[in-house]
Every structure is written in structure tokens, then in C-alpha cells.
Amino acid sequence: MKFAFLMDPLESVKAYKDTTFYMMLAARERDNEVFYFNQSTLQAGNNSVTALVSRLDVHASVEKPFTVLETRHSDLSEMDVVLIRTDPPLDMDYLYSTLLLDLLAPSTRVLNRPSGIRNWNEKLAALHYPQLTPRTAVTRSAPEILQFFDEFDRVTLKPIDGHGGKGIVFLEKSDPGNNRKIDDITRGGQQMIIAQEYLPAAKEGDKRILLVEGEPIGAVLRVHAEGQELNNLDQGAEAVPAELDSDDLRICNALKSGLAQQGIFFCGIDVIGGKLIEVNVTSPTCLQELCRFSGVDHHHAIIEKLESS
């Protein structure tokens, strides 16, 4: 089969931990053809969607993970599967890419479904399940944020288009800089943000659960570095083994039908203290860590599912 990966530039890939690389490696180890392209070369005409596509050999060596075998303009209808794995934010280039990929014929399977990526913002999708989430407000109004804050001792503020922990701030009752923080993150009331009840369980880490076709395949716990607070790996946190508990399974079961309706084949949900925080649908991570901790080749199982579907 032919697997094409829409992703960030190959030279930016950190192969020692990158989930996309691990999926590409599994596809190649299973004797499939693996291709790479990025958003900058994606085009569409009346009858085709094309891109500058590189056919790759993929190596287990993290020092030299890729060998480019050939590069050519290609009609993406030649591919059996296109996997959208570009990192967030879901900016206008990302949005246009999903719209162009919607034009491909059903003979090419596109995952996650482009419309699902558009519909399920990673920070907002959890709000489809209010019974599972911390108390939350989405607004750009400083008075509304302060009114929400009145109910709590501590509140987390997050940009809607943030990723990797970037831009997150905390409001504390004793902090004289709260108004400045609100003004900064909302850009003077121009930018809508998420205000969320702070969960003390975050001090113990947050759990990333990976799901394939709505079924959980396992979890890892991301624990902040000493002296830090954010549990994001991009912010220096460490991944450690974790088990799925009854709250995790309840959340996964609640999401299953919604993920299927949106065409979300592979996603990662973030859970803190039994509460759903985010639904990551663009390029969820932690697959390598899960495989390493569990001793299971989940990356091969994912590709095998695609081969047989």
C-alpha cells in the first residue's frame, strides 16, 4: 500500500520521540511505500489534488531516520491512505489544507477526516461533554473572566489555538498581576480564550490516553519537571507509565460515538483527576513512549488496521 504523511518538514522531526516517525517506520517495516509532503506544495485543480511528494526509506536509526528516494509532483489520488500529521496550531494554512484534502475521492482514505479536524478544536471539543470536564468559560471579556475567577481559588487560562503548553497562565487570589495576565492573553479583549477551574490533581501529572477507532490502546502520565508546573513534554515534562482506571474508561466510552461520527481514527485525550481536558486530533503524541512502556508494537497494530480496512 501507499501511505502519504502530510507533516512538518522532515528536518524538524525529533525521531527519538516523534509519533509520526514511528508510524512511518511501522508502515515501511511492513513493506508499504511511504511518502512525505507538506502544506506548502499542496494544490488542487478541477480534477485533482496534487503535492510535491517524496518517497522515503525510513530507518530505525534516530540519527538518520529518512532517506529520500525520489521527489516528484504527484496526484494524491494515487495514495491509499493520507495521514494528516501536521502539528498545530490549526491556522489558515492548516484549514485550507483540510479543505483541499476533502476533494480527494473516497478511494483515498484521509485520516483523521479533514472535517473532523476542523470541527473538533483540540481545546474546545471536550465541551461537547460538559459532564466530563472541569468548569470552563470561553470568552474574551476581562469582566467575565474575573467573574468566573470569583468562584475559585485558582484558574487556568489557555489560548484556544495554543499547543505544547504555550501561553498558559494561572490566576491566583494573591497575585496583583491578574489583570495584566488577562489583558495579555486576551490581547486587550481581542482574543477569545479558555478559563478553566484549576484541578489540584495536575500536580501529580496529566494522563495522555491514545485511542484508535475510539478504543483506548493505553496511556502515559506526563509529569512536570522539578521546579516547573506544566505537564507538557515540550515544556520539559517526563512521560512515565500509567494504567487506565475506571474514570478513564468511562471518558473513553463517552467519546467513542462522537469520534466515529467525526472520522477521528487516531487521537489523544488528556485527563487530569478523572476530568477530560483536551481531545487532540491533529498530531497526537506519546505513541513511542506507550510502546516502550507496554512492550507492545502499537505502531504496527495501527498500520495493520489501515492495511486491512
- What is the C-alpha to C-alpha distance for residues 300 and 281, in angstroms, rounded to an integer? 20
Residue 100 and residue 25 share a domain: yes
Instruction: Provide the percentage of residues in the chain whose pLDDT is more than 90.
Output: 92
Q: Show which of 95, 111, 127 is a domain's final residue.
A: 111
Residue 249 and residue 181 share a domain: no
Residue 293 and residue 245 share a domain: yes
Mean local confidence (pLDDT), 110-123? 97
Question: Sorting pLDDT into bands at 50, 70 and 90, what band is 165?
Answer: confident
- pLDDT, residue 231, reads 80
Residue 185 and residue 213 share a domain: no
Identify whether 126 is part of a domain.
no
Residue 51 and residue 105 share a domain: yes
Is residue 263 within 8 Å of 115, Cβ to Cβ? yes
User: DSSP labels for the chain?
Assistant: -EEEEE-S-GGG--TTT-HHHHHHHHHHHTT-EEEEE-GGG-EE-SS-EEEEEEEEEE-S-SSS-EEEEEEEEEEGGG-SEEEE-PPSP--HHHHHHHHHHTTS-TTSEEES-HHHHHHS-TTTGGGG-GGGS--EEEES-HHHHHHHHTT-SEEEEEETT--TTTT-EEEETT-TTHHHHHHHHTTTTTS-EEEEE--GGGGG-EEEEEEETTEEEEEEEEEPPTT-----GGGT-EEEEE---HHHHHHHHHHHHHHHHHT--EEEEEEETTEEEEEE-SS---HHHHHHHHT--HHHHHHHHHHH-
Residue 103 structural domain: 2-111
Task: Phi first, then psi: give them for residue 68, nearest 5 degrees.
Answer: -80, 120
Q: Quote the cell numbers at residue 159.
A: 489560548
Residue 213 and residue 192 share a domain: no
Q: Show which of 166, 181, 198 is a domain's final residue.
A: 198
Number of domains in the chain: 3
Mean local confidence (pLDDT), 103-120? 97
Identify whether 245 is part of a domain.
yes
pTM: 0.96
Identify whether 190 is part of a domain.
yes
Residue 237 and residue 139 share a domain: no
Residue 189 and residue 224 share a domain: no
- pLDDT, residue 112, reads 98
| CATH number for 46 | 3.40.50.20
Identify whether 232 is part of a domain.
yes
The answer on pLDDT for 196 being more than 80 is yes
Residue 154 and residue 213 share a domain: no
Identify whether 243 is part of a domain.
yes
- pLDDT, residue 232, reads 80
Question: Sorting pLDDT into bands at 50, 70 and 90, what band is 234?
Answer: confident
The answer on pLDDT for 235 being more than 80 is no
- pLDDT, residue 237, reads 85
Mean local confidence (pLDDT), 107-128? 97
Question: Sorting pLDDT into bands at 50, 70 and 90, what band is 75?
Answer: very high
- pLDDT, residue 162, reads 83
Question: Sorting pLDDT into bands at 50, 70 and 90, what band is 37?
Answer: very high
The answer on pLDDT for 233 being more than 90 is no
Residue 74 and residue 7 share a domain: yes
Residue 22, strand partner residues: none
Mean local confidence (pLDDT), 100-114? 97
| CATH number for 259 | 3.30.470.20
| Distance from the first to the final alpha carbon of the chain | 12
Mean local confidence (pLDDT), 204-222? 97
Identify whether 50 is part of a domain.
yes
pLDDT digits (tens, 9 = 90+) for 42-56: 999 989 999 999 999
Identify whether 279 is part of a domain.
yes
Question: Sorting pLDDT into bands at 50, 70 and 90, what band is 176?
Answer: very high
Residue 225 and residue 295 share a domain: yes
Q: Show which of 178, 198, 218 is a domain's final residue.
A: 198
Identify whether 124 is part of a domain.
no
- What is the C-alpha to C-alpha distance for residues 230 and 222, in angstroms, rounded to an integer? 9
Identify whether 119 is preceded by a cis peptide bond (ω within 30 of 0).
no
| CATH number for 163 | 3.30.1490.20
- What is the C-alpha to C-alpha distance for residues 139 and 148, in angstroms, rounded to an integer? 10
Residue 35 and residue 82 share a domain: yes
